[in-house]
Amino acid sequence: MKTILITGASSGLGASLALSLAARGHRVWATMRNLEKQEALVLSAKKKNLSITIRQLDVENMESVTQCVADMIATEGRIDVLVNNAGAGFVRTTEQATEEEIRWVMDINFMGVVRCTKAVMPYMRVAKSGHIINISSIGGLVGQPFNEIYCAAKFAVEGYTEAMASYLETGFGIKFSVIEPAGIQSEFAKTVMSQLNSTGGIRQDDYLPLFQQYINRIQSRSSEEIARVYQSPEQVAEVVAGCIDTENPPLRLRTSPWADEFCRFKTAADPTGKLQQAAVIASLL
């Protein structure tokens, strides 16, 4: 049994992962910024007769992060796994995005990962064990139209994870994994598009034809293609749970054959990222 902290667990992948890990016998702390959104997870856990601890944690606030981690250590005595799942999508051209919006995307998707990792590191370092899992995206490997700000944040997560893994696994036994799903059937995409529409959509006329082409391509996918591209939160959660339960987890892990195919030109030589990690260690440590 492992003690596991999950961020962004009010719905979608985070909630599904909390349920999956609890069902596997792990001690799960499911956290979320707004505890008013805990009802669905509470009901699901009760229905499945699962024990899950739910706590408030705002990844954009270091004090909130530190307090939650301290409470977990005081209660459980240790933290074995951190799953940095909290994040937000963002569809907007660089020209249209405000500096405030760009900072927000980077803060919640990247700095949130840094804050939570920073908070658990002292405990994992002393224990000389631990596993930090960062939920990225195929957008952290491959840039995509109108998603450049979001992709930049996920690219940052990927580089951060690689760099941390290059010395903390060897020096302190702390393992790192970055999870790279394609599409997930959740409220995530709906929230992104709702956010875009509420701020006037793609306003620059020059971009509209390309943006419409992008939207049409997504909306015209056949049912068979949709089934290959999009996974349910439960399907992705099982992949992440399997990574947690694996003795020697990969550094990189796509969650579907479609995601592997989409990223093949960047990952074919080293699908798990372990070869590059070994090369960095051999060269620099």
pTM as predicted: 0.93
- The radius of gyration of the chain's CA atoms, rounded to the nearest angstrom, is 19
The least confident of 166-175, 185-194, 237-246, 249-258 is 185-194
pLDDT per residue as tens digits for the range 166-206: 999 999 999 999 999 998 986 555 565 666 666 566 666 78
Domains located in the chain, CATH noted? 3-284 (3.40.50.720)
The least confident of 6-20, 112-126, 161-175, 225-239 is 225-239
User: What separation in angstroms does the CA of 46 have from each of 22, 53, 85, 119, 153?
Assistant: 12, 12, 23, 30, 36
Residues designated catalytic: 150
For the chain, percent of residues with pLDDT exceeding 90: 82
Distance of CA 185 to the CA centre of its chain: 15
- What the block records as the tokens of 219 is 């909306």
Strands (E), 33-187: 52-56, 81-84, 130-135, 174-180, 183-184
User: Which residue is associated with the tokens 């798990």?
Assistant: 272
The answer to whether 176 touches 132, Cβ cutoff 8 Å, is yes
The least confident of 25-29, 123-127, 209-213 is 209-213
Q: Are strands 130-135 and 81-84 parallel, antiparallel or unpaired?
A: parallel
93-106 average pLDDT score: 96
Strands (E), 129-264: 130-135, 174-180, 183-184, 230-231, 252-254
Specify the pLDDT at position 197.
63
Q: Residue 285 — very low, low, confident or very high, per pLDDT cuts 50/70/90?
A: confident
